[in-house]
Amino acid sequence: MSPLLLALALPVAVAVAVVLLGERRRDAREAASLLGALALAWVVLGTLLPDVLAGREHVLEGPALIDGLPLRFRADRLALVYAGVAAALWLPSALFAAGYMRGHHEGHQTRFFACFALSIASAMGIAFSDDLLTMFVFYEALTLATWPLVTHRGGPAAARAGRLYLGLLLATSMVLLLLAIAGAWVHSGPAGARSLAFVQGGFLGEAPPAARAALFALFVLGIGKAALMPFHFWLPAAMVAPAPVSALLHAVAVVKAGVFCVLKVAVCVFGLDVVAVGVGNGWLLGLAAATIVVGSLVAMTRDNLKERLAYSTVSQLAYVVLGAALGSPLGALGAALHIVMHAFGKITLFFCAGAIDVATGRTRVSELRGLGRRMPWTLGAFTLGALSIVGLPPLGGAWSKWYLGQATLASDHPWLLGVLLLSSLMNTGYLLSIPALAFFGAPREEPGAGPPVREAPLACVAALVLTGAGSVALFFGIDPLVAALRPAREAP
Amino acid sequence: MSHPDVPALVVVVPLLTGLLTALALRGRWAWAAATLSSWLVLALVLDLALAVQHAPGGVVSYALGGWAPPVGIEYRVDRLNAFVLVVVAVMGAVVTPGARLGVEAAVPADRLHLFWGVWQLCQVGLLGITITGDAFNVYVLLEIGSLTTYTLVAMGKHRDRRALTAAFQYLVMGTVGASFLLVGIGYLLQVTGTLNMADMAARLLEPETARASGRTIRAAFSLIAAGVCLKMALFPAHTWLPGAYAHAPAPVSALLASTATKVGVYVAIRFLYGIFGRELSFERLPTGPLLLVCAAVAILAGSLLACRQRDLKRLLAWSSVAQIGYMALGVGLASKAGLAGALLHLLQHALVKGALFLAVGALVWRLGAARTDDLGGLGRRMPWTAGVLTLGMLGLVGVPGTAGFVSKWYLVTAALEQGLWPVAVVVLVGSLLAAAYALKVIEPLWAAPEDLPPPAGAAAWGGRESPFSSLVLPGLVLSALSLGLGLGLGGPAQGLALAAAEDLVPARGGP
Amino acid sequence: MEWLRLVPYWVYVALMMIGLYGAIARGNLVKKVIGLGLFQTGIFIFYISLAVVDGGTAPIAREGWEGPYTSPLPHVLILTAIVVSVSTMAVALALVIEVQRAYGTVEADELAALDAEGTEA
């Protein structure tokens, strides 16, 4: 079996196994998730990655939904950025989820783990898709597979949030994105010679400039998962989901699917050169910059920890869109790196938020005063994650911001660097204030409080320490990553 | 073809078994006869469709009673009506076995044989319209199909007397529509002196005919167009449909929603493209813009009204109004891709609506009604029925992986090819609205039962799944077919639709 | 006398319009059925008028008559259409009887009011 097929099929197999094992054999069920995650990480990072780096391409052709447009998959470097992140972080998430769901006594755990695995399967499909239609199919699958997770808690509040989530994501993808894809198909060539397959450098070279600009706008706005304002409301709404969902899906898989698609479209549908000059990318740079700043501003005003992190995500995703919209190889490199760095940083933060919730039931920033001494591991990891998001060495986030900053300076819009710096400053304000409060604030003594607070379940702590350490490791291990992505970007 | 008389048998078999059923059989035997006959018809139709694939020119012609066309009545099967025949026959063969319990609940036991007789005559009408090559024959069979349909709809009276008024309204509008068609055919007879459709088309193409009788031809065109729109329930002639589908017994709705309006669409395509020809219909007359506007209103208004319904059958009925809009839109685009999209949508909507109405029938059979308020937590109590409902709704939305996505893709790209991006937007917004009403069904279905009050009368039915083989299985079969068409096994169907479209809209060098 | 040849067509159009008006605008279901009947009768007249051939006689083959016959085809067609029409009347009237039994009235506006009650209940 080809490793590519294995990467796509493994999470589906896990979902099936989870359903078959069910609630009665919950230990075996969680073991299936963990083993599946381990196997997927091995397939993607241990098999596909070395092969691709060695120049061996893996391609796969599936059934044709539309006559003449088969599902096509290809493992290339850019694909492995997203697939690698999703696969690598599934393992700690599965670990964390097992601890969290039991510690929190959540219901319907079988459905939860099955949908979780299906979401990963959809993410793999998006990552390895080799044409627009394939990408769209899995993009929609990801929306549908995550919807039961968002509404997992049940009740009217979750249902409302679920409707907003589904409504916004489907509205953008079904109307704008599908229109863009159909338009790209029609403009890709004369009847009979049309294609949707990704090509380095784009395949819309023959299209009239006005159509190209319109398509570009439709693509960028249609990929609602990138949470570009004003289509970002689904992301804070999705925070009603249990913490593992917020952590893996709404900090990593789903949102990164969005920005990954934007990046892929910029590189492989339009071509970076065209993005730089031929599609009127100015408005997009402005929108991305506005999203960066406004997202950070809103995050500063939120007291609910998860909501604050959600707006921080909105802001950070716009970095990736910005990098893609610059239309330069350096920008694309920065964007790809930021996908990785932000994933590790933000998942750590969400794990911490979940761990605090499980251990203490607290969800507000103002309630965390003095918690640092009770939960040193959790808040220590939180500090690492926050530093990475801010972009300070020795954490991975420093590199992506470095390359993005360079890219803005090299572009026609050097003022964007100011936006990046301003945002980093605001990140410091709203993220680092949290561990500061927790470590240095005086603990709040409540009369008649319950038993003393202790660290979260071991599974949770292990997961967040793992990803926090990952952020540090990424700082020191940046060279191979950059080396791997560079040639891909500079290829004609 | 295994026997030269197969084209005639497609109509004769259900006619004879229908009469036999009404006269000689009783109760469950009547149902068994209807089922057997529908299976036999399916076998005959598949045989015929295969023959068409291999026939020279893609046409099988059969002279009824040995009178050669154009004098005698000709049964003429080309790729277009082979496609529609297969749809009608498949739906008959799946819905009939699944209709037994629903019908037994709706019709008194001493009338069952009459019901099943009429049911088969209805199929005679639908199959006959599709297979015949004679314009007057279309009218007669259309009326056979319609008269039986009014009767079937009225059978809902035992549960809901509104079925009677709905059937009467349907009868008035249907008769007016059919009469318009009759007058239009009379005009064409006067102009061309023939009733054979192929012959008619050839004579209409002669320049002197067009010169001498241009006005008569245009009058015939308008009359026939009006009549056909009434039959296929295209906005603004859709008013009979919601009531008829909502109050008919659910199995009847399943049969009608998946075949009757589809045959109406077929008649529209046959007259517009096959008889008047694409040039007259779309280049000399403003049919295209008119159809597109009607279709757009049907899609948007139909979907919006579907969102507002609480009764599941009425919701599905309004959704049908919208879905017919999609087919009309494909017809109105007047291009190969558009027509192929219309045909594929015809196929997918037949499967999906059939499955949905069967599932609703299973709900009605258990709960006595099917309102969106009653669906709370049914996913756990009736997982199969809920699964069919969910898949069907996703199919209406056109989620990738269902057949609905395929037809939507063809329609959108066809519209964009002609630069008609507002039309493409209408298609896509329509599917978004479909997502809204689909969510109204799917959300309570899979919500945790403890979050919602139990459905009315839950104690009486004990929260059990419907009988599997007689109520659930047919819906599952249709869902599986729809999924199969959506998941890459639909290549042959798409090929057939494209080939049929190409016969009607020959490529003329470049888009 | 050219206008005389057009009289059947005028009759056809007039009957059709009267019938259509009756079928759509009258509130009483029986009157609607009558309207439909007129509507279809108009169409029969139209078809029969189509068959006229100048100087033609009834289309029954006769020894020694070489001259024109009127066209038999519309006659045949309209026989079929009359059968269809009669069946339609039968179904329609049966439905009216059923409506009368179920609702106690055959007036469209009263029926609409009764149906609306049923929806709210």
CA distance A147 to A323: 29
Instruction: Tell the burial category of A419 from Cβ atoms under 10 Å away from its Cβ (0-12, 13-18, 19+).
Output: buried
Substitution target from C32, C38, C88 for chain B, most B beta carbons within 10 A: C88
The band of B267, judged by pLDDT with boundaries at 50, 70 and 90, is: very high
Does any CB of chain B come closer than 8 Å to the CB of residue A178? yes
**And the tokens for B72?**
């005698």
C99 touches C115 (CB < 8 A): no
Which residues on chain A are in Cβ contact (under 8 Å) with B424?
179, 182
In angstroms, what separates the C-alpha of A196 from chain B's closest C-alpha? 13
Per-residue pLDDT at B42: 94
Residue with the bigger pLDDT between A456 and A293: it is A293
In angstroms, what separates the C-alpha of A481 from chain B's closest C-alpha? 34
**And the tokens for C96?**
């009216």
Q: What is the pLDDT of residues B403-426, one digit of tens each?
A: 889 999 999 999 998 888 899 999
Residue B210: pLDDT over 80: no
Q: Do A65 and B494 touch (CB under 8 A)?
A: no
B466 touches B389 (CB < 8 A): no
Please state at what angle helix B162-192 crosses helix C29-50, rounded to 10 degrees: 10
ipTM at complex level: 0.92
Q: How far is CA A195 from CA A175, A320, B496, B501, in A?
A: 21, 27, 22, 22
The band of B185, judged by pLDDT with boundaries at 50, 70 and 90, is: very high
Looking from the CA of C51 toward its CB, the CA atoms found within 13 Å total: 18
Partners of B61 in the β-ladder: B76
Sign for the CA dihedral angle at A298, A300, A301, A302 comes to positive
Q: Which of A151-160, A261-270, B122-131 has the highest mean pLDDT?
A: B122-131
Residue B282: pLDDT over 90: no
Three-state SS for B420? coil
Average pLDDT rounded to a whole number, residues A245-255:
82
Chains B and A touch, using 3 or more CB pairs below 8 Å? yes
The band of B278, judged by pLDDT with boundaries at 50, 70 and 90, is: confident
CA distance A220 to A325: 10
Instruction: Please report which residue ranges of B334-420 form alpha helices under DSSP H.
Output: 336-367, 378-381, 383-397, 403-417
Q: What is the pLDDT of residues B469-507, one digit of tens each?
A: 777 888 889 888 888 888 877 778 888 888 888 888 876
Per-residue pLDDT at A492: 36
Q: Do B448 and A107 touch (CB under 8 A)?
A: yes
Per-residue pLDDT at A449: 54
Residue B119: pLDDT over 60: yes
In angstroms, what separates the C-alpha of B422 from chain A's closest C-alpha? 10
Which residues on chain B are in Cβ contact (under 8 Å) with A141?
400-401
Sign for the CA dihedral angle at A102, A105, A110, A114 comes to negative
Residue C22 maps to which CATH number? 1.10.287.3510
Residue B336: pLDDT over 70: yes
Buried b (16+ CB within 10 A) or exposed e, A378-390: bbbbbbbbbbbbb
Residue B177: pLDDT over 50: yes
Per-residue pLDDT at C119: 54
Percentage of residues of chain A with pLDDT beyond 70: 96
Residue B457: pLDDT over 90: no
Least confident of A30-39, A387-396, B364-373: B364-373
The band of C84, judged by pLDDT with boundaries at 50, 70 and 90, is: very high
Average pLDDT rounded to a whole number, residues B71-96:
91
Percentage of residues of chain B with pLDDT beyond 90: 44
Domains of chain C: total = 1
C57 touches C67 (CB < 8 A): yes
* Chain mean pLDDT for chain B: 87
Q: What is the pLDDT of residues A368-379, one digit of tens each?
A: 777 777 788 888
Among C43, C96, C103, whose Cβ lies nearest the Cβ of B182? C43
Per-residue pLDDT at A447: 53
Does any CB of chain A come closer than 8 Å to the CB of residue B23? no
* Chain mean pLDDT for chain A: 84
Partners of B315 in the β-ladder: none
Q: Do A65 and B401 touch (CB under 8 A)?
A: yes
CA distance B450 to B459: 15
Classify strands B60-63 and A69-75 as parallel, antiparallel or unpaired: unpaired
Which residues on chain B are in Cβ contact (under 8 Å) with C40?
175, 179
Among B139, B150, B168, whose Cβ lies nearest the Cβ of C99? B168
The band of A97, judged by pLDDT with boundaries at 50, 70 and 90, is: confident
In angstroms, what separates the C-alpha of C92 from chain B's closest C-alpha? 7
Which residues on chain C are in Cβ contact (under 8 Å) with B171?
88, 91-92, 95
Phi, psi dihedral angles at C28 (to 5 degrees): -85, 130
Per-residue pLDDT at A446: 58
In angstroms, what separates the C-alpha of A10 from chain B's closest C-alpha? 19
Residue A490: pLDDT over 60: no
Q: Do B435 and A64 touch (CB under 8 A)?
A: no
Partners of A70 in the β-ladder: A64
Per-residue pLDDT at A272: 82
Average pLDDT rounded to a whole number, residues C31-51:
91
Three-state SS for A104? coil
CA distance B428 to A179: 8
Q: Do A137 and B429 touch (CB under 8 A)?
A: no
Phi, psi dihedral angles at C119 (to 5 degrees): -70, -40
Does any CB of chain B come closer than 8 Å to the CB of residue A50? no
Find chains touching chain B: ≥3 CB pairs under 8 Å. A, C
Residue A382: pLDDT over 60: yes
Per-residue pLDDT at B380: 78
Q: What is the pLDDT of residues A39-85, one digit of tens each?
A: 998 888 888 888 888 888 888 888 888 887 888 898 888 888 888 88
CA distance B483 to B481: 5
Closest residue, chain B, to A111 (C-alpha) = B446
Among A62, A166, A191, whose Cβ lies nearest the Cβ of B439? A166
Per-residue pLDDT at A122: 92
Residue B165: pLDDT over 60: yes
Find chains touching chain C: ≥3 CB pairs under 8 Å. B
In angstroms, what separates the C-alpha of B351 from chain A's closest C-alpha? 17
Residues contacting residue A184 through CB under 8 Å, at least 6 positions apart? A132, A196, A203, A204, A215, A219, A269
Q: Does an H or E element contain A73, and which?
A: strand A69-75
Average pLDDT rounded to a whole number, residues B390-407:
90
Range of the domain at C101: 2-120
Residue B70: pLDDT over 80: no
Q: How far is CA B406 from CA B74, B216, B388, B413, B491, in A?
A: 34, 40, 19, 11, 10
The band of B509, judged by pLDDT with boundaries at 50, 70 and 90, is: very low
Residue with the bigger pLDDT between B26 and C81: it is C81
- Chain A from 158 to 177: CB within 8 A of any B CB: 159, 162-163, 166-167, 170-171, 174-175
Average pLDDT rounded to a whole number, residues A385-404:
85
The band of A450, judged by pLDDT with boundaries at 50, 70 and 90, is: low
Average pLDDT rounded to a whole number, residues C49-77:
81
For residue B321, the one-letter residue type is V
Average pLDDT rounded to a whole number, residues B200-225:
86
Q: Does an H or E element contain A59, and which?
A: strand A58-66
The band of B158, judged by pLDDT with boundaries at 50, 70 and 90, is: confident
